[in-house]
Amino acid sequence: MDEFASESDSDYTSYWRDWVRWSCPSTDRDAPTRENPNANGPLQFISSRGNEYFCEIDEDYLTDRFNLTGLNTEVQYYQYALDLITDVFDLDCDDDMRETIEKSARHLYGLIHARYVVTTRGLAKMLDKYKKADFGKCPRVFCHSHPLLPMGQTDVPNQKPVKLYCVRCEDVYNPKSSRHAAIDGAYFGTSFHNIMFQVYPALVPPKSSERYIPRVYGFRVHSSAALIRWQNIQRTDMLRRLRKLEVESGFKGDQGDENLDEEDEEEDDIDVEGDTNVVG
Amino acid sequence: MSTSSGTPESWISSFCSLLGHEYFAEVSEEFIEDDFNLTGLQTQVAMYKEALEMILDVEPEDDEDEEEEEDEEEDESIEGGDNRMRQGERRNHSRIASDLSVIESSAEMLYGLIHQRFICSRAGIQQMSEKYELGHFGICPRSNCEQARTLPVGLSDIPGEDTVKLFCPSCLDVYVPPNSRFQTVDGAFFGRTFGALFLLTFPEYDLTKRGADVLAGTRVTEDDKDMLNGMYICNIAPGLGASKIYQPRIYGFRVSEVARSGPPEDEDDASMNLNGRPIRRLRARRKQGQGGQNGSPMTAEQNGVESEL
């Protein structure tokens, strides 16, 4: 990778490498040599804050045309954008044009990123970032700050911003920071985070049935208690199904049912009818 | 209350305007002055009397340093006592610089505990509802809750156990406040009761509306006025339900609940999984080996479950 960069060290290369380097703080490459900084550079550099979610795509991956199949129709000035990403950009053009190309390059990088992160190497890189909790931590109290993974809700670009997935509660959260909320979700895709846990099943944390129960002076509130009861039934059913199939449920100690039974008994004290139809 | 002609902030309002204290309501002085409301707090707070005086601003010389201006103003208003007061103040400062911080912290503790009771009273919950309408308590970070407004709650009524959390009425879950400055606010100052009581007191808030619509004063419309267990049906966990629960997918295919990566909560998956051939094989094997498996809590439990069915 370094050889590649050194043989094409034009005035223009520095911008892109800065961007990538900044977006991937973990990278251990040397700082770029900027002999003749482009006027556009710093501005772009600042406006690209919030790219911590991206990992650095291997040059090998970028230069293999097979990996980029179909992207030429998605991106304006595809060839120039690709040149910019791979640091071989040498077009003499005005600032507006350059800005357009840089925008295209960021978009293209994102789209390639979505493909790259589901490869073995991409997963490994994202795993490193996940372990460092670079994507933030789950805001849910009972997840106890479990690390999150970025995800998209659609694979089509320019539809929905990036969301964060917590594998512990299997739920989706909005990023805390607005600069992350502006990133396109398609740059990560709908599959990446699930593939991650298929490939590294050991990463899946034990599930817990710990939850918040709304109470007024110690008494459960009827409507939410009924809902919780219904949810517990659903979970018990699922645990039964899994047990029939001899699959580990993933709940702590695989004794979820025992706890549930206790809870059920406890709840029998309040004699109420479930209103499952409301929540179905 | 002080008789000063200026408008120095009372201890309560300065406390509530501190950074990180945005969730607090201003407890009315009538509430604090009613001894009944303070029952049992003497034993929970050190230097109770001094702390209470500090909250009510009744003894200015006990106030903290930053309120010296107020002290001086009041000193002037007390004829003849000026000299004595100044002496007293000086004595005060030399004697108990450390005491002041102790009183200050126990005043905060006492205020928090009173606050916990106050926001469950009629006046307090009304005040909190005003803050709720203005969106002071933030929004739910969960994607499917679509920025439903949250309520500050504690997970315990005993101080010192946990910090304040945000309760989302849309998904009935609790979240850590996004800003770290709330990590210093004790959850007991809001208590376990407030969140649920709020929803029961104000059932007419339309919880399905997003934080942005708050200022429009959205309420439940007439069409949806079906009550169930003291709640409007449309308000019972609107952020949950079939389409509001995330369904993991890989390239458009749902991740099976038998996958190691975790079971989704969708019940439809049962039928899907039972169609799989490998699973049939598993089940067959299980039947053969049923007698042989011993000591596994799974099988024991399974038998119980089957007999129950």
Virtual CA dihedral for A168, A169, A174, A180, nearest 10 degrees?
Answer: 10
Give the number of other CB atoms < 10 A from CB of residue A262.
10
Quote ipTM for the complex. Answer: 0.73
- A118 to chain B: closest CA residue: B250
- Specify the DSSP class assigned to residue B148: -
Across the interface, whether the CB atoms of B240 and A279 are under 8 A apart is answered yes
B105 is written with which tokens? 């912290």
CA B145, CA B218: separation in Å to the nearest integer? 16
A246 is written with which tokens? 């001899």
B62 is written with which tokens? 């006990």
Does pLDDT of A163 surpass 90?
A: yes
* pLDDT at residue B296, rounded to an integer: 35
Q: How far is B114 from chain A (nearest CA, A)?
A: 15
Q: How far is B297 from chain A (nearest CA, A)?
A: 8
**Chain CA centroid to CA A91, Å:** 34
**Identity at A205, one-letter amino acid code:** P
CA distances (Å), origin B179, targets A64, A106, A171: 43, 30, 21
- B97 pLDDT band, cuts 50/70/90, is low
Q: How far is A59 from chain B (nearest CA, A)?
A: 25
Note every long-range contact of B179-184, with CB atoms under 8 Å and residues 24 or more positions apart, other chains counting. Answer: B179/B20, B181/B19, B181/B20, B182/B20, B182/B23, B184/B20
* pLDDT at residue B10, rounded to an integer: 87
- B176 pLDDT band, cuts 50/70/90, is very high
Q: Does A242 touch chain B (CB under 8 A)?
A: yes
Residues 6+ apart with CB under 8 A from B28: B118, B123
The predicted-structure confidence for A47-102, as pLDDT tens digits, reads as follows 356 778 888 888 889 888 899 999 888 888 898 888 888 888 777 888 888 888 88
The predicted-structure confidence for B212-252, as pLDDT tens digits, reads as follows 554 445 555 555 667 776 677 777 778 787 778 888 888 98
- A210 pLDDT band, cuts 50/70/90, is confident
Contact (CB, 8 A) for A44 and A103:
no
Name which of A14-23, A55-64, A205-214, B147-156 the model is least confident about: A14-23
- B203 pLDDT band, cuts 50/70/90, is confident
User: In chain B, what residues touch A211 (CB-CB under 8 Å)?
Assistant: 173
User: In chain A, what residues touch B250 (CB-CB under 8 Å)?
Assistant: 191, 194-195, 198
Which of A141, A170, A174 is closest, CB to CB, to B246? Answer: A170
* pLDDT at residue B245, rounded to an integer: 86
- B84 pLDDT band, cuts 50/70/90, is very low
Q: Give me the residues of B, 167-226, that contact A with CB < 8 A.
A: 167, 172-176, 178, 192-193, 195-197, 199-200
* pLDDT at residue B7, rounded to an integer: 60
User: In chain B, what residues touch A226 (CB-CB under 8 Å)?
Assistant: 229
- B175 to chain A: closest CA residue: A140
CA B151, CA B138: separation in Å to the nearest integer? 8
Helical (H) or strand (E) element with B227: strand B227-228
The predicted-structure confidence for A117-143, as pLDDT tens digits, reads as follows 999 999 999 999 999 998 999 999 999
Does pLDDT of B67 surpass 50?
A: no
Name which of A108-112, B88-92, B188-192 the model is least confident about: B88-92
User: Residue written as tokens 């030429």?
Assistant: A72
3-state secondary structure of B110: helix
CA A274, CA A226: separation in Å to the nearest integer? 5
Please count the residues of chain B.
309
- B277 pLDDT band, cuts 50/70/90, is very low
Does pLDDT of B298 surpass 80?
A: no
Name which of A17-26, A209-218, B227-236 the model is least confident about: A17-26
Residue bearing the bigger pLDDT, B253 or B214: B253
Query: b/e string for B227-261 if b means 16 or more Cβ within 10 A?
Result: ebbebbbbbbbbbbeeebbbebebeeebbbbbbbb
B272-295: average pLDDT: 35
- A3 pLDDT band, cuts 50/70/90, is very low
The predicted-structure confidence for A240-260, as pLDDT tens digits, reads as follows 888 888 777 777 654 444 444
* pLDDT at residue B60, rounded to an integer: 52
* pLDDT at residue B186, rounded to an integer: 92
Q: Does A221 touch chain B (CB under 8 A)?
A: yes
B119 is written with which tokens? 């926001």
Does pLDDT of A12 surpass 60?
A: no
* pLDDT at residue B224, rounded to an integer: 60
A111-116: average pLDDT: 92
* pLDDT at residue B112, rounded to an integer: 93
**Chain CA centroid to CA B19, Å:** 17
Does pLDDT of B275 surpass 90?
A: no
Name which of A65-74, B155-164, B245-254, B260-269 the model is least confident about: B260-269
Phi-psi category of B212—alpha, beta or left, where left has phi over 0 and alpha has psi -120 to 50? alpha
Beta bridge partners of A140: B175
As a whole number, the mean pLDDT across chain A is: 75
* pLDDT at residue B46, rounded to an integer: 86
When scoring B232, B234, B260, B285 by the number of chain A Cβ atoms within 10 A, the one with the most, hence best to mutate, is: B260
* pLDDT at residue A5, rounded to an integer: 35
**Chain CA centroid to CA B172, Å:** 12
B90-113: average pLDDT: 76
Burial of A191 (0-12, 13-18, 19+ CB in 10 A): buried
CA distances (Å), origin A196, targets A28, A192, A202, A203: 24, 6, 10, 9
Name which of A31-45, B5-19, B40-54 the model is least confident about: A31-45
Q: Which of B111-115, B147-151, B236-240, B251-255 has the highest mean pLDDT?
A: B111-115
Beta bridge partners of B168: B173
Q: Does B163 touch chain A (CB under 8 A)?
A: no
Does pLDDT of B194 surpass 50?
A: yes
- B205 pLDDT band, cuts 50/70/90, is confident
Residue bearing the bigger pLDDT, A177 or B63: A177
B130-148: average pLDDT: 89
A271 is written with which tokens? 């004699």
User: Residue written as tokens 């129960």?
Assistant: A213
Alpha-helix residue ranges (DSSP H) falling in A93-251: 95-116, 120-131, 178-181, 192-199, 222-244
